[in-house]
Amino acid sequence: MKKITLFLVFIGMMTLQSCEVTEVYDDVDNGPRTEVFEVTTSFNSNNNYSRLVVFDPPLYSSDSVLVYHLYDTVNGQDIWKLMPQTYYFSDGGELDFNFDYTRYNVNIFLSANFSLTTLEPSWTQNQTFRIVIIPDGFAKTVDKKNIDSVMSALSVNKSEVKKIDL
């Protein structure tokens, strides 16, 4: 009986050792991606008051995107506003700086409750944006409205911001 049991154990061990598992993954997320891009662009009727920024390589499915608009510079300090951002005018007009994104690009666009052709060039020309790619769940752990807090939490300094020419 011992010999039969030993023989079965031996056969079982040989069978398990000969198994090989090969896993093939398509489009695998290789970990969180944290990058910050800066783009300056102008909006007009020719580009339908929107600008497309392509991600190369595409985002991982677990990544998210934050976009900030450079609203002003005061005493040498940049004032960044988290988008979407609505600006209100004294005549009742409302201008929205907004965005949407996919794994492949982010589309930054303007919309308003009036004709965008009437906007002053200060609202449409040479507008600067920071696009921040963040890992899943990160946005819950930091004050997203403060770009400095986001950059600090991601351990990204200003010299690591990648400028994109459109």
- pLDDT, one tens digit per residue, over 50-86 is 999 999 889 988 888 999 999 999 999 999 999 999 9
What pLDDT, on a 0 to 100 scale, did the predictor assign at position 6? 52
Higher pLDDT, 63 or 20: 63
> Given this model, what pLDDT does residue 27 score?
47
Give the model confidence (pLDDT) of 131-157 as tens digits: 999 887 776 777 888 888 888 888 887
0.95 exceeded by the pTM?
no
The DSSP secondary structure of 5-28, one letter per residue, reads HHHHHHHHHHHHHT-------SS-
Under DSSP, is residue 112 helix (H, G, I), strand (E, B) or coil? Answer: strand
Q: How far is it, in rounded angstroms, from Cα 5 to Cα 127?
A: 78
pLDDT digits (tens, 9 = 90+) for 92-134: 999 999 999 999 999 999 999 999 999 999 999 999 999 999 8
Domain boundaries, the chain: 29-164
How far is 42 from 23, CA to CA, in rounded Å?
47
